[in-house]
């Protein structure tokens, strides 16, 4: 079942612009955050059922990806977290390649392993976690053949 639904742009101008520019240019523009590559994740809205597109740091290992629901260490989860909890099928665009994945929340050793990959790419995740009581969740995305 491939992702279907109406694209619902974010109400955040910044979030919308980066995701749409990245997608429209095949990852050539708006492709990084302070020089670190990003990806664009498409999730199915937990309430609206619409397609939501979110720029996130690129954390990849052996063909799998992780997405980190940090939201800068805010006390509340990002909205896309709730989408992933409800709808595990996602799409991820990395450069000009867009594929579908099944997402699961990482726990235990898997979480530790992937948190390491994530902080290798973006050390600020550790700073964000220090800022909040909330456990910043990490999802591992496995390719859907
Ligand atoms: N955010 C991260 O959490 N982790 C990252 O690694 C990360 C990297 C990154 C790199 C570049 C960049 O430009 C931004 C980056 N961000 C990163 C910020 C990220 O793009 C998001 O802006 C941020 O995580 C907040 O996500 P959000 O989903 O809360 O976004 C808000 C602004 C938003 O789009 N809200 C929508 C709106 O219209 O208000 C609703 C979105 C939504 O999914 N609604 C659901 C629905 O049903 O449609 C309901 C969800 C629910 O609450 O049940």
List the one residue out of 15, 3, 92, 81 whose CA is nearest residue 49.
3
List the one residue out of 113, 105, 110 whose CA is nearest residue 135.
105
- The span from the CA of 91 to the CA of 130, in Å, is 30
Measured in angstroms, how far is the CA atom of residue 11 from the centroid of ligand 1? 10
By most ligand atoms within 8 Å of CB, the mutation choice from 5, 6, 80, 135 for ligand 1 is 80
What domains sit in the chain, N to C, each tagged with a CATH number? 13-143 (2.30.110.10)
* Residue whose pair of structure tokens reads 């109400």 in the numeric block: 11
Q: Tokens in use for 103?
A: 């997402």
Residue nearest to atom 36 of ligand 1 (CA): 10
What pTM value is reported for the model?
A: 0.96
Q: Is 111 helix (H, G, I), strand (E, B) or coil?
A: helix
In this prediction, residue 1 carries a pLDDT of 54
Q: How many CB atoms lie within 10 A of CB 90?
A: 25
Q: Which atom of ligand 1 is nearest to the CA of 59?
A: 6
Measured in angstroms, how far is the CA atom of residue 82 from the centroid of ligand 1? 10
pLDDT tens digits, 3-55: 889 999 999 999 899 999 999 999 999 899 999 999 999 999 999 999 999 99
């Amino acid at each position: 079942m491939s992702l279907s639904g109406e694209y619902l742009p974010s109400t955040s101008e910044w979030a919308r612009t980066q995701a749409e520019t990245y997608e429209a240019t095949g990852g050539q523009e708006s492709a990084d955050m302070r020089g670190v590559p990003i990806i664009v994740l498409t999730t199915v809205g937990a309430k609206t059922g619409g397609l939501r597109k979110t720029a996130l740091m690129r954390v990849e290992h052996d063909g799998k990806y992780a997405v980190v629901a940090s939201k800068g260490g805010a006390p509340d989860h990002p909205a896309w977290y709730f989408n992933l909890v409800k709808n595990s099928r996602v799409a991820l665009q990395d450069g000009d390649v867009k594929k579908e994945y099944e997402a699961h929340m990482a726990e235990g050793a898997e979480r530790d392993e992937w948190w390491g990959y994530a902080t290798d790419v973006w050390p600020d995740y550790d700073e964000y976690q220090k800022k909040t009581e909330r456990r910043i969740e990490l999802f591992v995305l496995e390719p859907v053949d």
